[in-house]
Amino acid sequence: MKQRILFTVIMSFFLSFFMTLWVTFINLGFTPDFLQSWGRAFMLAWPAAAFVSFFTSPLAQRITTKVIPVKS
């Protein structure tokens, strides 16, 4: 369980970091308040991404196993 929680925190951090950076840039460009806008988006997105990742990762794992069965 500790590994699942830590993986979720790390993975959601990277995903939120880069996705909010990219989407903020697409929407605003490099404006004078870019870092402030991006930081706000990131701080709102990271907890949401962690929550969603934690609860959907078992489903994603089951779907992956059905698409690509584990061979013993």
For 30-70, how does the pLDDT look when each residue is reduced to its tens digit (9 = 90+)? 999 999 999 999 999 999 999 999 999 889 999 999 999 88
Residue 16: inside a domain: yes
Name the domain count of the chain: 1
Q: What pLDDT score was predicted for residue 69?
A: 87
Query: Taking 90 as the threshold, does the pLDDT of residue 72 lie above it?
Result: no
Q: What pLDDT score was predicted for residue 70?
A: 80
Gap between the Cα atoms of 59 and 64, Å rounded = 9
Residue 63: inside a domain: yes
Residue ranges making up the domain that contains 40: 2-67
Nearest by Cα to 12 from 62, 48, 59 = 48
Chain centroid, CA 45 distance in Å: 8
- pTM of this structure: 0.79
Residue 72: inside a domain: no
Residue 28: inside a domain: yes
Q: What pLDDT score was predicted for residue 46?
A: 96
Q: What pLDDT score was predicted for residue 13?
A: 94
